[in-house]
A and B are shown apart, each in its own frame.
Chain A
Amino acid sequence: MALNREIAYIDLSTAEIKTAPIPIGVRQLYLGGRGLDMYLLYNHLEPGVDPLGPDNVLTVSAGLLVGTPASASARTHIGAKSPLTGFVGSSNMGGFFAPELRFAGFDHLVIKGKADGPIYLWIHDGEIEIRDASDIWGENIFDTQELIKDELGDPEVKVLCIGIAGENLVRFANVMTGMKNAAGRTGMGAVMGSKNLKAIAVRGTMGLEIRFPEESLEYNRQLIEHIGSTKFAQIMQKWGTMFIYGVTNTTGLVRVRNFQLNQQVGGNIECEHIEKYSLGTEGCYGCILHCRHKYQIKDGPYAGTYAEGPEYTSQGAFGMEVDCNNFETILVGNHLVNMYGVDTLEIGSMIAWAMELYEKGILTDEDTGGLKLEWGNDQAVLEMIRCIAERKGLGDILAEGPLRAAEKIGQDSIKYLIHVKGMSNLHSDERSTPSLALGIATGSRGSDHLRSRPAIDLYHLPEELLRKIYGGPKPYDGPLSSDYTSYEGKPRMVQWQEMMYEAIDCTGICKYHTIFLSPNLIRFEELSKLIYLNTGLEFTPEEIWDIADRAYTIERLFNIREGLTREDDWLVDRYFDEPTPIGLPIARDKCIDREKFKQMINEYYELHGWDEDGVPRPETLKKLGLDGEPSHKL
């Protein structure tokens, strides 16, 4: 059954490995994937541990529906205490690793301690071995995977691994599988590096029983037809997430020159450029959207190199934020971050910040080793990627992430950081979009667009449709507004998306198949059916919301235990003090209103049943069955 996958506890210090079944009762509370990982972190981590010390706990998991016909359920979730924020670390990725982990008999790995030297885990059909990785240490993301497959003698092995950035404990190093699937955020790669864990290789031949195979196939066939018929799907299939640039840059909703402009004037990095380089598209396991391009770099030192992507995030990192107007730079930058294994979003933000400091004279040629960190200097951007991943010169400081780097650089460098909870923002500018601003300010893992962003707010949807979406499955009759510049009803949208994304991350379905960029895709109702047909577990849409609420609240409890206060759910001053200078009228001369924003946060806490300090009230914990946590059920 899809429910009989096990959990493995692996202590790298003692080489002790234990496995156990996952009781159905725990499934009913957390489903799997991110939700169960969060429960495990809250239960297995001591508060206050050094995220890069042996006491941190790393979880790797496959969502509840991974490997079933449920639409594109391929995601691996990785959790730990974040070395970037000190709060909850959590990131997920697509590809083919998670299904293979399930075919090998496991859903969750809880990895503790630190190995004496470089090792990798080899997991196959119920067995787990710790193997020497001395020969592989130092290899990049691509070669690591190939070397391990060669060593194990099976090209069907799937590998997740860290690159040089993770080995060097770059605090925003990612974990990757394949050419470009990356669990990018919150520095999970650095946690693996700190444990001397280079990679996890899996291969399995254990079948995953589908509860109602025929009905599941039929329902998924309908979903495919439905998803495929949306305009969103057709655009995604052709361009991937790069299509977003056309909308957001034209309007003036992006972060250019760190935070000085909200539009790339004369920007010429639209998705259409990919046509010249593309060799076709690739999909994750079971996905019909195949959102990433396969491409070949044409010129320069990387001419002829094969790579996959890039995403909208790389257009931001190596285009908008640093104001480079060259599509090839994005292609090369994307290739480099994937090769080194480092978060494209964080590295772009760090470089853009350093450029603003250089412009302001806070960083000088002496600090940069002569590198001209000027806007639009493509070569300097690409060089900085190397310096950060290899921790060379200024790169060594930037590799520490926003807050630590600002402390090292000093002066008033901190004033120019665009971050929440110590994690940099996506290259989006939320000054005209209060709902999006609230989402990044309150996200449990720091500034982030994948925790709660109501992206469809940008579509000015009619109020009846908003009511249809945001009015359930838990009743809500408060205000909702089609105007994305309004503060009205936005806390509900953020809370709703938070619950949706949490539920989705518990199942391992890709967010692009849900209400994220299109209002017509999967929500709680469809999820309830997918879970039932594939696993036999029965939940009403409301019950799925409760599960998501429980998991999200345990993330909140984790953060509070690590010292989070209301002040951490806040934006940097620039959002309130510097109005947007350009863009369409709707996005021009806008900044966030402090008072109204405070009010929004109050409302948002209230919706969650948290007190004015953002702490879940005792009755909220009781209602969610969290009053006895940590309960050590697993």
Chain B
Amino acid sequence: MEKILVVAHEKCTGCRLCEMVCSVKHTGVNNPTRSRIHIIKWPMEGFELPMLCQQCEEAPCIAVCPKDALSRDLTLGRVTLNYDLCIGCKMCVTACPFGGMGIDTVVQQVIKCNLCDGDPICVRFCDPGALQFVPANTVNLMKKRDAGLKFSELMRKSLISDV
């Protein structure tokens, strides 16, 4: 079943462990510039936002790729990059509105999140649960439950005070 990687930014503690393990897994080296995920921070305001490839349905990167190196992989619900076809023109890097396509200057290739072929390592290491990999058709239920939790507390309180 198609799963998606969702971000609950309010749970992110900004530890950047996801960046580290992504880089180490894919390159054997810890180099945040080679990581597929990045934490964008405003440290003096205590705000952080995990940013990564959104695996778009109508992906601008696929649209601009002149060599059809990028395509949608329906089983894993991702945009995949075929390095055999890629000529490294970096059109996709320009086209992606989220910075999801990056350039690894060590191996001179464009890089992107491949959802670790179905078991994203960033999710495994994100202890606070800011990153989750969940079935696409129930993602809204999960969010509803999170939001509902706060709402339900208020409801319960009002019930108690009614009695």
Interface size of B in residues (CB-CB distance below 8 Å): 32
Residue B109, interface by CB 8 Å: no
A286 in contact with B33 (CB, 8 Å):
no
Docked CA distance A205–B102 (Å): 14
Residue A209, interface by CB 8 Å: yes
B124 in contact with A221 (CB, 8 Å):
yes
Residue B36, interface by CB 8 Å: no
A68 in contact with B15 (CB, 8 Å):
no
Contact of B30 among A68, A224, A281 (CB under 8 A): A68
Which residue of chain A has its CB nearest to the CB of B10? A280
Docked CA distance A284–B31 (Å): 17
B29 in contact with A208 (CB, 8 Å):
yes
Residue B84, interface by CB 8 Å: no
Residue B88, interface by CB 8 Å: no
Residue A120, interface by CB 8 Å: no
B46 in contact with A294 (CB, 8 Å):
yes
Which residue of chain B has its CB nearest to the CB of A285? B16
Q: Which residues of B contact A283 (CB under 8 A)?
A: 13-15
Binds B, one of A210-218, A324-332, A350-358: A210-218
Which residue of chain A has its CB nearest to the CB of B121? A217
Binds A, one of B20-28, B92-100, B155-163: B20-28
Residue B83, interface by CB 8 Å: no
A224 in contact with B15 (CB, 8 Å):
no
Q: Which residues of B contact A626 (CB under 8 A)?
A: none
B32 in contact with A210 (CB, 8 Å):
no
Q: Which residues of A contact B32 (CB under 8 A)?
A: 103
A288 in contact with B15 (CB, 8 Å):
yes
Please judge, given known A-B contacts A103-B32, A207-B106, whether A213 and B24 are in contact too, CB under 8 Å.
Answer: yes
A179 in contact with B46 (CB, 8 Å):
yes
B30 in contact with A178 (CB, 8 Å):
no
Q: Which residues of B contact A213 (CB under 8 A)?
A: 24-25, 28-29
B21 in contact with A217 (CB, 8 Å):
yes
Nearest CB of A to B39, in Å: 10
Which residue of chain A has its CB nearest to the CB of B46? A294
Q: Which residues of A contact B124 (CB under 8 A)?
A: 221
Residue A67, interface by CB 8 Å: yes
Docked CA distance A286–B23 (Å): 13
B15 in contact with A209 (CB, 8 Å):
no
B125 in contact with A284 (CB, 8 Å):
no
Residue B45, interface by CB 8 Å: yes
Which residue of chain A has its CB nearest to the CB of B21? A217
Q: Which residues of B contact A217 (CB under 8 A)?
A: 21, 24-25, 121
Which residue of chain B has its CB nearest to the CB of A95? B43
A286 in contact with B128 (CB, 8 Å):
no
B24 in contact with A210 (CB, 8 Å):
yes
B24 in contact with A216 (CB, 8 Å):
yes
A281-316 Cβ-contact flags toward B at 8 Å (1 or 0):
111111110100010000000000010100000000
B15 in contact with A308 (CB, 8 Å):
no
Please judge, given known A-B contacts A213-B24, A221-B124, whether A96 and B16 are in contact too, CB under 8 Å.
Answer: yes
B31 in contact with A286 (CB, 8 Å):
no
Which residue of chain A has its CB nearest to the CB of B16? A285
Please judge, given known A-B contacts A67-B30, A68-B30, whether A288 and B24 are in contact too, CB under 8 Å.
Answer: no
Q: Which residues of B contact A178 (CB under 8 A)?
A: 43
Residue B63, interface by CB 8 Å: no
Residue A382, interface by CB 8 Å: no
Which residue of chain B has its CB nearest to the CB of A205? B33
A224 in contact with B16 (CB, 8 Å):
no
Nearest CB of A to B41, in Å: 8
Contact of B127 among A67, A214, A288 (CB under 8 A): A288
Residue A279, interface by CB 8 Å: yes
Residue A145, interface by CB 8 Å: yes
Q: Which residues of B contact A228 (CB under 8 A)?
A: 127
B28 in contact with A210 (CB, 8 Å):
yes
Docked CA distance A286–B33 (Å): 16
Residue A146, interface by CB 8 Å: yes
Q: Which residues of A contact B30 (CB under 8 A)?
A: 67-69, 207-208, 210
A290 in contact with B15 (CB, 8 Å):
yes
Which residue of chain A has its CB nearest to the CB of B127? A288
Please judge, given known A-B contacts A69-B21, A207-B29, A210-B24, whether A290 and B46 are in contact too, CB under 8 Å.
Answer: no
Please judge, given known A-B contacts A210-B28, A217-B121, whether A286 and B46 are in contact too, CB under 8 Å.
Answer: no
Q: Which residues of A contact B29 (CB under 8 A)?
A: 207-210, 213
Docked CA distance A281–B127 (Å): 13
Q: Which residues of A contact B31 (CB under 8 A)?
A: 103, 205-208
Docked CA distance A261–B25 (Å): 54
Docked CA distance A179–B47 (Å): 12
B16 in contact with A286 (CB, 8 Å):
yes
Residue B17, interface by CB 8 Å: yes
B99-132 Cβ-contact flags toward A at 8 Å (1 or 0):
0000001100000000000000100110110000
A209 in contact with B28 (CB, 8 Å):
yes
Which residue of chain B has its CB nearest to the CB of A293? B46
Given A213-B28, A213-B29, output 13 extra A-B contacts at Cβ < 8 Å: A68-B30, A178-B43, A207-B27, A207-B29, A207-B30, A208-B30, A209-B29, A210-B24, A217-B21, A280-B11, A280-B46, A287-B17, A306-B46
Binding site for A on B (CB under 8 A): 10-11, 13-17, 20-21, 23-25, 27-34, 41, 43-46, 105-106, 121, 124-125, 127-128
Closest 3 CB pairs of A and B: A207-B31, A207-B29, A294-B46
Can you name 18 A-B residue pairings with CB atoms under 8 Å?
A69-B24, A69-B30, A145-B44, A146-B44, A205-B31, A205-B105, A207-B31, A207-B34, A208-B29, A208-B30, A210-B28, A216-B24, A217-B121, A228-B127, A280-B11, A283-B13, A285-B16, A287-B15
